[in-house]
Every structure is written in C-alpha cells, then in structure tokens.
Chain A
C-alpha cells in the first residue's frame, strides 16, 4: 500500500497537471471573484470565507477524474484488483494521494488567498481548520464518484453532476465554520458535524467505491 501511495504521489508530482493545476485554478477563481462582485473590501471580507470554500471545492473537482482514469486506461487497475492488496486499500491510497496533492495544498494556500479577499483577522485560522477537516471528505466523496464513472468515456461532466450534490453537506458545514469563525461565534457544533461527515466518508466510502470498481471491472 505504501508502494502504491509513493508511486501515485510521484506520478502526480512528475506528470504535472494534477499538482499545480488545482492550485492555479484556485488562484484564478479567487482573483476573478472581485472582478465579478466589485472591489469594495467590506463586501469582499463578508463573502471571503465562502468564496475560498467554493474555490477549494471546484479545484478539488477538477482533478477527480484523474484518480482512476489513467490506471483504468493502461490496465494497471486490473492488476491492482488482482493483487494481494484489497481493493478497499487501493481506494484509500488513491483518495489519500488525491488529498495530498490537492486538498492539502489548497488548505495551506487558502489563508494566503484570504489576504487577497481581505478576509477578517479572526477568519484565517478557521478557514484553515475547516478546510483541513473538510477537504479529506471532498477527496473521499470524489473518489466514489470517480469509481462510478471510471468506465465511461468522457465522464468528466457526468462526474461533476454526480459529485456536486454529494458535496452539499460538507460545503454547508465547512463554510459555516469559516463564517462563524470570522464573526467570532462558537464553532464547536459545525466543527463536530463536519468532522463527523469526514470520518464517516473515510470509514464507509472506500468499501462502497471498491464494490463499484469491482462492478466496473467485471
């Protein structure tokens, strides 16, 4: 499993595209928002947390179809399925790599981009924490969507249609944490709910995704 983890990480780093693309996309979305809504810092600071969350979510979505597609095309997914490693573990490794290459960098850069959107002082910590807690859920839910659509040619658009409604609860709680953090309110309730979603998806979705992959590989 470690070997698979490192192989995928190296592939993601060296092949380019996956790693930098999500981040650049995140940057562009954040830059475009002030063009769309106007440059007043009062308005920007009110919507900053939500914009960062939506940007992170979309950037996550961008690289989802790469989770299984390349391995599916060259047949290594079949090899992985017949290897002694259970397919569930393969799914966990894939989702982890996706998180390490998109979720984690997004979480780290989000406070920086918060500067561009004049995020209020109290918000930086909570945007960072909510993204750190929430993005693993995005990766695991996305992994399920990628497993569903892996056999479909040009399934990228369908993948977004399937995955985005599943992202709704994560987005609501994540953005709520960031918003409450900005206003200085107590964040414990949404934080617990968001952690619950993340842990639930971590625990259950690898099994569902492995089931779905087996159906697709049949």
Chain B
C-alpha cells in the first residue's frame, strides 16, 4: 500500500507533482474566477456597506490562507525535525513567502475596507495587530533561511524558529486581546452559529476560499519543485568541482 511517506522521496515527489500540478493550477484558476466573478458582479450590494462588502472575497480567503500557511509550515517543520525528510523542509521554505504575501493581501484589503467602514485605515485592534505580528514572524523566518549558508543547518534552525515562533504567535494573539478591545467583527463564517454572513454572500465566498486554497497549494508545489531542482543543480556543481 502506498503511504504518504513515499513522497518524501524527491524523485517520486517530482513525478507525482509533475502530473498533479497542472490540474491543481487550472482548478485553482477556475474556482478563483468563479468565486471572484460571482462575488464581484452577481451578488447584491449590502444595504449598509454598499459595494465595499465585496472586499470580503479577497480579504477573508487571504487571511485564512495566511494563518493556514503558517500552520502548514509548522507541520512540515515537525516532519523535518522528526523524520528528516528533505522535501518537507523545502516545502516549509517554499510556503513562507506565499504566506507572507497572503498576510500582506489581508492587511491591505483590510485597510481598504476599514477606511470607508470604520473611517480609518488602521486601528490597533487585536486581530489587525496580531496579523501585523504574524507578518513580522514570516519576515524573520524568511530572513533566517536566507542568512544561513549550509542548507541542513538552515532547515534545522528555521524549523526550531517556526516551533518557538508558533508558541509566541499564539501567546501574542491572546496578549493583544487583553491589551485592547477591537473594532473588527467576530467570527461570522462558523458552521455552528446562528448569526452568519447571509447565504447570497456565503456561497461565492466558499468558492473564493477554495480558490485561494488551491492557489496556495499550486504555488507551494511549484516553489517546492524549484527548490528541489535548485538543490540538484547545487549537487551537480559540487560533483563537477570534485571531479
């Protein structure tokens, strides 16, 4: 029986992703297009927020992906530290810039939405603040990868940073709650709540979220493949120097 660990073998990983990646990319494009076009042009304006409510189709999926990207890096780092699969370390490295960009998208769309709604681009609200802190964590993580030359040492150190950083990120999340009350609304997409976003907005939003998820998957696969190829060329160059 094929286990998931087989794809820790770079050759098998490359063979699988070579077949899967085009499909994922196309699917990501289609769902994104459906979600965004539906959301932008075929939903009514909100009676209080007007058409600004449509920023939700970029803001919410990007914010979700920003957090999930860090979570994926955490899992990949753990796999690297425990089972020493190089593909896992490279996947964590590949996910970091994507996650950082998602964080920026969430922050910028949030600012654009906050300006007409709250009358301010930025407020020191717990959610906004923790996103800014998350962005700083991404920057530190990426910078540490860049700074260390030996690739295994870099993988180890960034993995440890990711673990420690996760603990502190969660701590900060609750600390800022304590520090300031927020303008940002509470969760309104939960499956088990009475009061949620209305169905007309909800359905295209699900498409947009799925689209962002697939987009993230496609980008991470692509970047992981690039990292693996980069590793191979380095090995080839080293071998030629030895000969």
Contact = CB atoms under 8 A, between A and B. Distances in A.
Interface string A168-197: 110011001000000000000010010001
A168 B144 contact: no
A165 B164 contact: no
Report, nearest first, the 4 A-B pairs whose CB atoms are least far apart. Answer: A169-B175, A165-B136, A169-B171, A172-B175
Contact of A168 (B147, B148, B161, B172): B172
A155 B147 contact: yes
Interface of A: 144, 148-149, 151-152, 155, 158, 161-162, 164-166, 168-169, 172-173, 176, 190, 193, 197, 205, 208, 211-212, 215-216, 218
B97 interface: no
Contact of B179 (A162, A165, A172, A205): A172
Contacts of A168: 133, 168, 171-172, 175-176
Interface of B is mostly: helix
B178 interface: yes
A91 to B, nearest CB: 14
Interface stretch (B17-25, B152-160, B190-198, B207-215): B152-160
A25 B164 CA distance: 29
A193 B156 CA distance: 31
6 contacts: A162-B161, A166-B168, A168-B172, A172-B172, A176-B178, A216-B157
A66 B208 CA distance: 49
Interface in B137-155: 137, 139-140, 143-144, 147-148, 153
Interface of B: 133, 136-137, 139-140, 143-144, 147-148, 153, 156-157, 160-161, 164-165, 168-169, 171-172, 175-176, 178-179
Contacts of A164: 136
A159 to B, nearest CB: 10
Contacts of B156: 215
Given A165-B136, A215-B153, A158 B175 contact: no
A172 B178 contact: yes
A148 B147 CA distance: 11
A205 to B, nearest CB: 8
Nearest to B172: A168
